[in-house]
Each structure stands twice: as C-alpha cells, then as structure tokens.
C-alpha cells in the first residue's frame, strides 16, 4: 500500500480546498485490505476518501487518510432478462453507468453524471430523476472495521432512506469494498421527473435518457475541475403534509412531491432561490448562479469559509420558511 507523507489533499476533494494529512495511504488492490485494517485501527481519527465529491474539509486531517482506489467490474448472467454487475469501490460512478449502457444493460441511465465513486454510492443512497441506488442494488460487500471481518448486506440490511443508509449512520464502522447491481436487458424508462417527462415516448431509448440527464446536469451544475464544488450541498427536505399545504397557499408556485400519505418532499434549491441567494458570495465562497443547491469555491475559499456560507443559507431558509435544511455534504 503506497503512502505519501505530509500530503496535500487539494486534488482529493472536488471543492479544491486546501487541507493536509500527515499520511495519505492508497488502497489499489484487495491484497491491501489486511494491512489497511491494521493501520486503520492503529490510527487516530482516520478518514476514508473515495472521489472526495461529497466531503468538505474544513481543517487539516490529524489522522491517517485512506484513499480507496480498488477497481474492477464483472458481469454475470442472472437470467434471460437481467445481469448481475459487481463493481469495486474505486470505480468512477459515471464511467460505470456509461459502461453498462454500452453493454445494453439498463437501469442506471437516470443516475448519469453523479460525481464520486462506486464505494460512496450506497452511503448516500444516490439518486436522481426518480431512481435511487437501492432500486437497482442486490448487495453491498463491506469490511467491519471493528472486527476485521467481511460482510455482505442485502438491500433491506442496508436500511436505505432518502440520501441515507446504515453506512452513513455508522460512518467509520464499514469500508465498502464492492457493490452488486441487478440490471435489466429490457429497457423500462423512468420518466416521471422533469425534463424527462417532456421526452417523446415513441422510440425512446436509454441513451436518450442518459443524454438528457447529462445535458441537464451539465447546464445546471458546474464542473468541479473548473469550479470547485461538491454537487448538491443540501438535502431536499421532507416535511409534514400540513406544513407543505400551508406553504403552498403562500407560495402557489412552490414545487412539491408526494412521498407518502403524510409526507411531502420540497425542493431545497427552490427555497434558497426565493431568498435571492443565487450568485451570492462571501469572499471566494458562493452560491452557484444557476443552481442554488450548489455551493462553490471560486478560487481560494477555505473549507471553513464554505461551511460558514452554508450555515448562513440554513439560517435564512429557517427564518423565512420555518424549515431546517440538512447538509448533504459531509463536513469534516
């Protein structure tokens, strides 16, 4: 396992903020796992990083940092209609979506261009445009870092919720090694959400959905290579139906999405936008001009400055709407 001392983590987080680690270890093969478990348990305040797309580093990391870069994808026929796809944690998520689409394996096209690695996907239960990871997942293979044992979780055992999972609630307990998905040989479009619901359904293909999702995300979300960001910084809040109805009376144009008979999901970006915060800046930390859910590093903002901006947004939304937004990005 490779080790870099006094490592600069700027290139290991998509916000591009400066943070240093005393030691940065890279896991790039399964053979590294035994050594990793020993080092992890000996380290004070260790941190596991994948693509660094859902983390905001607000200070130097005192403990060891472990960068998971184990790669590999296998395909196994399940039956005449589906295939099991097992991907290692270090694989790039979007590249996996592309690879499956090229093999005419369907079900991930709505999840195109979500930043990060495969290993991070179950932690957040990533989702977009009406599809969540749990809808396609068979199992997660992980290491119990307390016991040093492998364990396979089925979907129910992952205890998935909206941008939530057992792995998120027990951060530091599990290292995700790989995931197994069940993808279909037959294309069944999920086009309930805009702009997919505006597509012509005649002769609609998975590539059409993939291309539309990519185009939409590129138009709304900045490229982290050009403008540091971590994607959506805030979760869309799920509120009681009565609160949603009350807000709807005051704000008739407010978008709402029924979750169940008593809960409604609201659009956090819409709430922030109503406060006129698109394009708002505090130094080099800012709210993106096209997507209010995204906080950006214009050049030299620190992680702490970006986090302070996030707290400002939270306070303003709470004061205006009475809703306490949650941060989707993990703040360290």
User: Which one of 196, 216, 236 terminates a domain?
Assistant: 216
88 and 141 inside one domain: yes
* Parallel/antiparallel/unpaired status of strands 238-240 and 263-266: antiparallel
Helix, coil or strand: residue 293: coil
**pLDDT tens, residue by residue, 85-112:** 999 999 999 999 999 999 999 999 999 9
CATH code, 241 = 3.90.78.10
Q: Is the peptide bond before 267 cis (omega within 30 degrees of 0)?
A: no
Mean pLDDT of 214-225: 92
210 and 79 inside one domain: yes
34 and 82 inside one domain: no
Check residue 75 and give its pLDDT: 98
Sequence-ordered alpha helix ranges (H) in the chain: 33-42, 93-102, 121-124, 166-169, 206-220, 241-250, 268-274, 303-321
238 and 115 inside one domain: no
Cα distances from 256 to residues 68, 263, 277, in angstroms, run 38, 10, 20
The b/e string for 215-248 (b: 16+ C-beta within 10 A; e otherwise) is ebbeeebbebeebbbbbbbbbbbbbeeebbeebe
Percentage of the chain lying above the pLDDT 70 cut: 100
User: Which one of 68, 85, 118 terminates a domain?
Assistant: 68
Report the half-sphere exposure of 151 (CA within 13 A, side-chain side).
16
* Structural domain for 7, as ranges: 2-68
Residues forming the active site: 163, 232, 328
Check residue 248 and give its pLDDT: 95
Mean pLDDT of 130-140: 98
**Torsion angles phi and psi, residue 99, rounded to 5:** -65, -40
Check residue 220 and give its pLDDT: 86
Report residue 283's pLDDT band, with 50, 70 and 90 as the boundaries.
Answer: very high
19 and 90 inside one domain: no
Statement: residue 45 has pLDDT above 90: no
25 and 96 inside one domain: no
Q: Residue 279: left if φ>0, alpha if ψ -120 to 50, beta else—which one?
A: left
Distance in angstroms (rounded) separating the CA atoms of residues 236 and 134? 18
Cα distances from 289 to residues 162, 222, 254, 329, in angstroms, run 26, 10, 20, 19
Report residue 323's pLDDT band, with 50, 70 and 90 as the boundaries.
Answer: very high
**pLDDT tens, residue by residue, 224-266:** 999 999 999 999 999 999 999 999 999 999 999 988 999 999 9
Distance in angstroms (rounded) separating the CA atoms of residues 120 and 114? 11
164 and 270 inside one domain: no
User: Which one of 153, 187, 216 terminates a domain?
Assistant: 216
**pLDDT tens, residue by residue, 146-196:** 999 999 999 999 999 989 999 999 999 999 999 999 999 999 999 998 999
Report the half-sphere exposure of 68 (CA within 13 A, side-chain side).
29
254 and 298 inside one domain: yes
77 and 63 inside one domain: no
132 and 16 inside one domain: no
Contacts of 203 (CB under 8 A, 6+ apart): none
CATH code, 31 = 3.30.43.10
**How many other CB atoms are there within 10 angstroms of residue 202's CB atom?**
5
Statement: residue 44 has pLDDT above 90: no
Distance in angstroms (rounded) separating the CA atoms of residues 236 and 162? 9
**pLDDT tens, residue by residue, 116-134:** 999 999 999 999 999 999 9
- What is the average pLDDT value for the chain, to the nearest integer? 96
276 and 159 inside one domain: no
78 and 209 inside one domain: yes
Mean pLDDT of 127-142: 97
Q: Tell the residue number behind the tokens 């900045």, with chain if given.
A: 222
Distance in angstroms (rounded) separating the CA atoms of residues 324 and 99? 39
Q: How many domains does the chain have?
A: 3
Check residue 170 and give its pLDDT: 96
- What are the tokens at 237? 């809040």
Which residues face 67 on adjacent strands?
Answer: 26, 49
Distance in angstroms (rounded) separating the CA atoms of residues 125 and 268? 18
Report pTM.
Answer: 0.88
CATH code, 148 = 3.30.465.10
Check residue 144 and give its pLDDT: 96
Report residue 63's pLDDT band, with 50, 70 and 90 as the boundaries.
Answer: confident
């Amino acid at each position: 396992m490779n080790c870099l001392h006094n490592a600069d983590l700027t290139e290991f987080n998509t916000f591009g903020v400066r943070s240093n680690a005393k030691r940065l270890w890279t896991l790039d093969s399964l053979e590294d796992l035994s050594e990793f478990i020993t080092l992890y348990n000996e380290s004070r305040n260790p941190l596991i990083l994948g693509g660094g797309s859902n983390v905001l580093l607000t200070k130097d990391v005192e403990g060891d940092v472990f960068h998971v870069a184990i790669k590999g994808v296998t395909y196994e026929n399940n039956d005449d209609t589906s295939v099991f796809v097992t991907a290692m944690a270090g694989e790039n998520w979007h590249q996996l979506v592309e690879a499956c689409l090229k093999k005419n394996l369907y079900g991930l096209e709505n999840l195109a261009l979500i930043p990060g690695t495969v290993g991070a996907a179950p932690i957040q239960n990533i989702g977009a445009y009406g599809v969540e990871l749990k809808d396609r997942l068979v199992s997660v293979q992980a290491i119990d870092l307390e016991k040093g044992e492998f364990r396979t979780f089925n979907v129910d055992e992952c205890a998935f919720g909206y941008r939530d999972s057992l792995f998120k609630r027990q951060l530091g307990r599990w290292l995700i090694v790989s995931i197994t998905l069940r993808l279909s040989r037959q294309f069944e479009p999920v086009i309930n959400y805009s702009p997919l619901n505006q597509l012509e359904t005649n002769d609609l293909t998975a590539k059409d959905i993939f291309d539309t999702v990519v185009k939409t995300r590129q138009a709304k979300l900045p490229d982290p290579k050009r403008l540091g960001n971590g994607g959506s910084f805030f979760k869309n809040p799920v509120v009681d139906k009565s609160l949603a109805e009350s807000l709807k009376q005051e704000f008739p144009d407010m978008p709402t999405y029924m979750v169940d008979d008593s809960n409604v999901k609201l659009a956090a970006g819409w709430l922030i936008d109503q406060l006129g915060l698109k394009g708002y800046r505090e130094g080099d930390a800012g709210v993106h001009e096209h997507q209010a859910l995204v906080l950006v590093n214009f050049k030299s903002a620190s992680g702490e400055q970006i986090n302070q901006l996030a707290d400002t947004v939270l306070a303003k939304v709470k004061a205006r709407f009475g809703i306490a937004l949650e941060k989707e990005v993990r703040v360290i």
